[in-house]
Structure 1
Amino acid sequence: MALFIMILRKMINNKWLELSLLFGLVLSVALASSMPIYTSAILQRMLIQEMQQLQLGSNQYPGIYWISAALSEQDKQQKPANIAETEQFLKEKERRFGIPVQNFVSERATQRYNLVPAEPDKIDINIQRSADISAIDGMESHIRLVDGRLPAKESVGGVYEALVAPEALTELGMVLNTVFIIKDASLPQPISIKPVGVFDRKDYTDIYWYNNTSSYKNSFLIDFNLFEKEFTVGGKLNVQSSYWYFALDYKLLTLASADEFLYNDQAINTFMDAHYDSHNKNAPALQTLSNYYVKETNLRKMLWSLNVPVMLMLAFYLFMVANLITERQKTEIAVLRSRGASRLQIVFSYAAEGLVLGAIAFTVGPYLGAKLTELLGASSGFLEFVQRAKLETKLSEDAFLYALTAIAASLVMTLIPVILATRVTIVGHKQQSARMQKQSFWHKFFLDIAIIGISLYGLQNYKTRVKDILSLGLKSADLRVDPLLFLIPAMFILGLGLLVLRLYPLFMKLLYKVGKRWWPPTVYTTLIQVSRSIIQYQFIMVFLIITIATGLFSASATRTINQNTTDKIRYSAGADIVMKIHWENDAPPAILFGAEGSEDDSAASEDVSDTTVSPPQKVQYSEPSFLPFTQFPGVDHAAKVFIRKDASFNKGKTSAQVELMGIDTKDFGETAWLRDKLLDHHIYDYLNLIAKNPSAILISRSIAEEYGVKVGDTITAGWQNVEPASFTVFGIIDYWPSWNPNPGAGDTVSVTTKSGTTTKVKKPMLIVGHLAYIQNNLAIEPYEVWMKLTPESSSNSVYQAVSTHGYEIESVTDAKQEQIKAIKDPFQLAINGVMTLGFIISVVVCFFGFLLYWVLSLSARTLQYGIFRAMGVSVGQLIVMLVGEQVMVSGAAILIGIMTGNLASHLFVPLFELSFDPSTQVPPFQVTFDRRDTERLYGIVTVMITIGLAVLGHIVSRIRIHQAVKLGED
Structure 2
Amino acid sequence: MALFVMIIRKMIKNKWLMFSLLLGMIISVALVSTMPIYSEAILSRMLVKDLETMQQNRGVYPGSFYAKVSFGEETAEQRKQVLSDIDRFMSGEGSEGYTLPLIETVVQRNTKSVEAVPEVGTEADMKKKRSLHFTSLTGLADHIKLTDGRMPQDGAADGVYEVLVTDGALRNINTVLNTVFTAKDSKGNVLVRFKPVGVFEKKRDDDPYFYDVSLSGFSSAVVIDSAVMDRDFRDLDKVSVSNASWYTVMDYSHMELRQVDPFLAANKLDQTFFKSKVGTYQTDFKTPALETLQTYLTRAKHLKTLMWSLNVPVLIMLGFYMFMVANLIAERQKNEIAVLRSRGAARWQIMAAFSVEGLLLSAIAWALGPPLGLLLTAVLGASNGFLSFVSRAALPVRLTAASYEYGAIAAGAALIMLLIPVFMATRATIVGHKQQLARQQRTPLWHKLYLDLVAVAIAIYGLYTFRTRLDNLKNLGLGQTDLNIDPLQFIVPALFTVGAGLLLLRLYPYALRLIYWIGRKWWRPSMYATLIQVGRSSSQYQFLMVFLILTIATGVFSASAARTINSNTEDRIRYGNGADMTMTAQWINDKPPPAMGGGPEQTQSAAADTNKPVHYLEPAFEPFQTLPGVEHAAKVFVKENASFSVGDNSGSALLMGIDTDDFGETAWFRNGLLGYPLNDYLNLMASDTRAVLISRTLAKQKNVKEGDTVWIGWEDAASQPFVVYGIVDYFPTFNPNPPVGSVDAGDEESKNNAPMLIVAHLSRIQLQLALEPYEVWYKMKPGYSTTDFYQAIEDRSLPVLSLLNTQSDLNAAKNDPFLMALNGILTLGFLISIAVSFVGFLLYWILSLRGRTLQNGIMRAIGVSVRSMFGMLVAEQILTSGVAVLIGIAVGNLASSLFVPNFQIAFNPGTLVPPFKVIFDSLDYARLYTVVGAMLVLGLGILGFMVSRTRIHQALKLGED
TM-score range, shorter chain: over 0.9
Alignment partners' CA distance in 2, 1:537 and 1:721: 78
Letter aligned with residue 132 of structure 2 = A
Amino acid at match of 2:254: L
**Among candidates 459, 475, 480, match of residue 479 of structure 2:** 475
Distance in 2 (CA, whole Å) between partners of 1:117 and 1:693 is: 79
Q: Provide the residue aligned with 1:715 in structure 2.
A: 710
Matched with 2:107 is 106
Stretch moving more, 101-110 or 891-900: 101-110
Q: 1:536 to 1:566 in 2, by over 3 A?
A: same
The percentage of counterpart residues that share the same residue type is: 48
Deviations 1:163-211, CA, capped at 9 Å, x for gaps:
2211123334444344444333489644344333221112223332221
Distance 1:468 1:125, change over 3 A: farther
Distance between the aligned counterparts of 1:353 and 1:292, measured in 2? 43
Which residue of structure 1 lines up, in the alignment, with residue 901 of structure 2? 910
User: 1:372 matched to which residue of 2?
Assistant: 376
Does the residue aligned with 2:350 lie in a helix, a strand or coil? helix
Equivalent residue for 1:833? Answer: 824
Q: Distance in 2 between matches of 1:167 and 1:927?
A: 62
Q: How big is each residue's C-alpha offset from its partner over 1:71-130, in whole Å with a ceiling of 9 and x where there is no partner?
A: 224333311111111111111123333122111211111123344454573545786742
Q: Indicate the SS of the match to 1:723.
A: strand
SS at match of 2:243: strand
* Corresponding residue number in structure 2 for 1:872: 863
The letter for the 1-side match of 2:671 is D
Distance in 2 (CA, whole Å) between partners of 1:941 and 1:470 is 40
Alpha-carbon spacing, 1:31–1:186, altered in 2? closer, same or farther (3 Å): farther
The equivalent residue for 1:217 is 219
Greater Cα shift, 109-118 or 407-416: 109-118
Q: Following TM superposition, by how much is the alpha carbon of 1:509 offset from its aligned partner in structure 2, in angstroms?
A: 2.1
Q: Match of 1:72?
A: 72
1:771-786 correspondence to structure 2 within 5 Å: 771-786=762-777
1:381-406 CA-partner distances (Å, limit 9, x unpaired): 00000011222321111122222111
Residues 740, 764 of structure 1: 8 Å contact kept: yes
- Matched residue, 2:759: 768
> How many residue pairs get matched?
957
Contact 1:123 1:174 in 2 (8 A): no
Which of residues 506, 509, 516 in structure 2 aligns to 1:512? 516
Contact 1:749 1:761 in 2 (8 A): no
Give 1:596's aligned residue.
none
The one-letter amino acid paired with 2:302 is: N
Structure 1 distance, partners of 2:68, 2:188, is: 25
User: Which of residues 278, 302, 313 is equivalent to 2:317?
Assistant: 313
Q: Where does the alignment leave 5 or more consecutive residues of structure 2 unmatched?
A: none
Asked if 1:383 is matched to 2:387, the reply is yes
2-structure distance, mates of 1:542, 1:721: 70
Residue 289 of structure 2 aligns to a residue in which SS?
A: helix
In structure 2, the residue matched to 1:293 is: 297
1:787 corresponds to 2:791? no
Aligned pairs for 1:517-596 within 5 A: 517-591=521-595
2-structure distance, mates of 1:712, 1:359: 76
Q: How does 1:577-726 map to 2 (within 5 A)?
A: 577-591=581-595, 616-726=611-721
- Give the C-alpha shift of residue 876 in structure 1: 2.1
Q: 1:966 to 1:95 in 2, by over 3 A?
A: same
- Report the Cα offset of residue 328 of structure 1: 1.0
Q: Report the AA paired with residue 457 of structure 1.
A: Y
Matches within 5 A, 1:169-208: 169-185=170-186, 189-208=190-209
CA contact (8 A) 2:117 2:125 kept: no
Label 1:612 to 1:153 Cα distance change in 2 as closer, same or farther (>3 A).
closer
Structure 2 residue aligned with 1:39: 39
Give structure 1 regions of 4+ aligned residues with deviation exceeding 6 angstroms: 125-128, 611-615
Distance change in 2, residues 1:372/1:614 (3 Å): closer
Q: Give the direction of change, closer, same or farther, for the CA distance of 1:671–1:491 in structure 2 (3 Å limit).
A: same
Deviates more, 1:317-326 or 1:233-242: 233-242
Partner of 1:439 in structure 2?
443
Residue 736 and residue 2 in structure 1: after superposition, are their counterparts in 2 closer, same or farther (change >3 A)?
A: same
1:450-469 equivalence runs, <5 A? 450-469=454-473
Does the C-alpha gap of structure 1 residues 542 and 186 become closer, same or farther in structure 2, counting only changes over 3 Å?
farther
Partner of 1:597: none
Q: Does the CA-based 8 Å contact 2:474-2:738 persist in structure 1?
A: yes
Matches within 5 A, 1:6-405: 6-93=6-93, 94-118=95-119, 121=122, 123=124, 129-185=130-186, 189-211=190-212, 212-277=214-279, 278-405=282-409
> What residue identity is the alignment partner of 2:109?
R
The RMSD of aligned alpha carbons is 2.3
CA distance in 1, matches of 2:601, 2:117: 34
Matched residue SS, 2:772: coil
CA distance, structure 1, for counterparts of residue 440 and residue 645 of structure 2: 79
Q: Secondary structure, in 3 states, of the residue corresponding to 1:68? A: strand
Q: CA deviation at 1:933?
A: 1.0
Distance (Å, rounded) in 2 between the aligned partners of 1:523 and 1:108: 96
Residue type of the alignment partner of 2:849: L
CA contact (8 A) 1:747 1:761 kept: no
8 A Cα contact 1:146 1:198, kept in partner: yes
Deviation at 1:659, TM superposition (A): 0.7
- How far the C-alpha of 1:806 sits from its partner, in A, is 1.0
Secondary structure, aligned partner of 2:154: coil
Match of 1:881 among 837, 849, 872: 872
Q: Verify the 8 A CA contact 1:485 1:912 in the aligned structure 2.
A: no
CA positional deviation for 1:551: 0.2
1:580 and 1:783 in contact (8 A); partners too: yes
- Could you tell me how far 1:799 is from its partner in structure 2? 2.0
Answer whether contact 1:33 1:400 (CA < 8 A) is retained.
yes
Q: Which segment drifts farther, 116-125 or 515-524?
A: 116-125
- Equivalent residue in structure 2 for 1:956, among 944, 947, 954: 947
Deviation at 1:157, TM superposition (A): 4.1
Deviation at 1:795, TM superposition (A): 2.9
Q: Does structure 1 residue 852 correspond to structure 2 residue 843?
A: yes
Tell me which residue corresponds to 1:407.
411
Q: Check 1:324–1:721 CA distance in 2 against 1; reply closer, same or farther (3 A cut).
A: same
Q: Deviations over 1:815-862 (max 9, x none)?
A: 111111111111111100000000000000011101110111111111
What is the alpha-carbon distance in structure 2 between the residues aligned to residue 323 and residue 855 of structure 1? 15
Superimposed CA distance per residue, residues 560-598 of structure 1 (whole angstroms, 9 cap, x where no aligned partner): 0000000000000001111111112111122478xxxxx
Deviations 1:506-541 (A, max 9, x none): 222233234333332222222222122111110000
TM-score, length of structure 2 as denominator length: 0.96
Q: Evaluate the alpha carbon distance shift between residue 122 and residue 692 of structure 1 in structure 2; reply closer, same or farther with a 3 A threshold.
A: farther
The one-letter code matched in structure 2 to 1:228 is: D
Partners of 2:924 and 2:89 lie apart in 1 by: 61
Supply the AA of the counterpart residue of 1:574: G
Find the aligned partners of 1:494 and 1:123 in 2 and give their Cα distance: 95
Structure 2 counterpart SS, 1:923? coil
Query: TM-score, structure 1 length as denominator?
Result: 0.95
Q: Which moved more, 1:158-167 or 1:304-313?
A: 158-167
Segment of structure 1 superposing worse, 249-258 or 775-784: 249-258
What is the alpha-carbon distance in structure 2 between the residues aligned to residue 293 and residue 621 of structure 1?
48
Task: Give the match's secondary structure for 1:242.
Answer: strand
- Partners of 1:681 and 1:968 lie apart in 2 by 73
Whole-Å Cα distance in 1 between the matches of residues 854 and 366 of structure 2?
39
Offset, 1:48: 2.0
Pick closer, same or farther for the CA change 1:675–1:586 going to 2, 3 Å.
same
